[in-house]
Chains A and B, each alone.
Chain A
Amino acid sequence: MNMTRRHFLVLLPAAALAWENILAGAPETATNYHTSEHWWGMLVDIEKCIGCGSCVRACQKENNVPDGYYRTWIERYRIKEVNGVETLEVDSPDGGMNGFPSSNEPGVKEFFVPKMCNHCADSPCTQVCPVGATFVTPDGVVLVDEKYCLGCRYCIQACPYGCRFLHPQKNVAQKCTLCYHRITQGLTTACCENCPTGARQLADLKNPKDPIHEFLRTHSVQVLKPHLATGAKLFYNGLDGAVR
């Protein structure tokens, strides 16, 4: 190839740009998933939950959650009157993983409440992280960068819903990822996939075709601890006032 000095000088800036791209690494493999087009949340229909524990088992298997720790769990609320005073009992044996023994006690109001990370839009846990290891993604999922996490536990204390734990071996904070590896591939979360009654439904609030919009319009839906203004995106239908 015949390269004059003039040509070489003209090509230099182009080569510099190309080198910059090589340094930046390979461009992200083209997928149909764009973070800016989604805003994830979840809908939980308490009236449909049978407390079978399928979601808890599915989450443990999908995400290799260590034994005794739960990224999602089911609570059973039992509200009864004792000497004219309303008393509340909440239990969750093994996170509700293996179901619940029937109490068969007459005159008690009983129901199941599945719980998990609320993927808050203004989450208290990300605000307290001193190293930027936990964050809200542009598609509205609260995640933890395990390489950055120091294991200081600030976020675990800050979460008003008790959704985080310290991984006993890795010593980093862990939590529900809303199955980020699944939803970015067009699948639903492991818990929603395995809920036999459809009590849990993944919702994309930015997708106008998502049935969540019609559901929110026609039902009385609540979030947990709305007074904390966390921007929780775990919507409960049929939530009793006693649930906290």
Chain B
Amino acid sequence: MKLKDAAHLFRLAGVFAAGILIFILVRSYLVPKSFGQYGHFRGDALTEIKAQPISYAGHQACEACHSDVLDLKSKGKHAQVNCEACHGPLAKHADDPGGVTPEKLDTAKLCVRCHEANSAKPKKFPQVASMEHSGGLACNECHTPHSPAIVTEGGKK
């Protein structure tokens, strides 16, 4: 076979090579640099998701300053309840303790969120029908929220 007869094959190969080259160029331009860094996704997406600001500072941040509350709380029934579960998101307060101060809480509304009697709650969980129990009186009139058991002369009630 003469080389001249195979010329059309070389032309075809040239077209293929050009096609592949264009594909590689376009692909490298369109696919983000971080794609495939960790898997079949854009690695930078992780950095972007991590950059979201936090609202809840976490109890470690609270305890760094409010060690007195921690001492009181650790002896009572609310030892396992984290600060922001009642006080709300306070990352801004943790960043700027003087500038942002937490709101005062209304215990008449706050405590019943957990302690209002409900037939679906676990039976062991302390719960009251708040209207019968206190008639709408704020809970902190009798209980200390950080250590809620009432200590009477006869012992803990």
A residues within 8 Å of B by Cβ? 24-25, 28, 35, 47-54, 58, 61-63, 76, 78, 99-105, 108, 110-112, 132-138, 143, 145-148, 177, 180-182, 184-185, 187-188, 190, 193-198
B81 at the interface (CB under 8 A from A): yes
A115 to chain B: closest CB distance in Å?
15
- The answer to whether A62 touches B89, judged by C-beta atoms less than 8 angstroms apart, is yes
Q: Are A196 and B81 in contact (CB under 8 A)?
A: yes
Segment at the A interface, from B2-10, B34-42, B146-154: B34-42
Contact B114 A76 (CB under 8 A): no
B residues lining the A interface (CB < 8 Å): 33, 35, 38-42, 45-56, 58-59, 80-82, 84-86, 88-89, 113-114, 116-122, 125
A105 engages B119 (CB within 8 Å): yes
The interface residues of chain B lying within 8 Å CB-to-CB of A63 are 52
The answer to whether A185 and B56 have CB atoms under 8 Å apart is no
Which residue in chain A gives the minimum CB-CB distance to B40?
Answer: A132
A-B contact list, 29 entries, CB within 8 Å: A48-B122, A50-B121, A51-B120, A58-B84, A61-B88, A61-B89, A62-B56, A78-B120, A105-B119, A132-B35, A133-B41, A135-B40, A136-B39, A137-B39, A137-B46, A145-B42, A146-B48, A147-B45, A148-B41, A180-B50, A181-B51, A181-B53, A182-B58, A190-B55, A193-B56, A193-B84, A193-B85, A194-B84, A197-B80
A50, A138, A177: the one contacting B49 at CB < 8 Å is: A177
Give 11 new A-B contacts, CB below 8 A, not counting A132-B42, A182-B58, A195-B85.
Answer: A24-B33, A50-B121, A51-B118, A58-B56, A58-B85, A99-B116, A138-B39, A145-B41, A181-B49, A181-B54, A196-B114
Chain B residue at smallest Cβ distance from A190: B56
- The interface residues of chain B lying within 8 Å CB-to-CB of A50 are 114, 118, 121-122, 125
Which residue of the partner chain B has the closest CB to A194?
B85
For residue A188, which residues in chain B have a CB less than 8 angstroms away from its CB? Answer: 58
Closest 8 CB pairs of A and B: A110-B120, A145-B45, A135-B41, A181-B52, A102-B118, A194-B85, A196-B81, A187-B58
Q: How far is the CA of A101 from the CA of B117 in the complex (A)?
A: 9
Asked whether A193 and B82 contact (CB < 8 A) given A62-B55, A78-B120, A102-B120, the answer is: yes
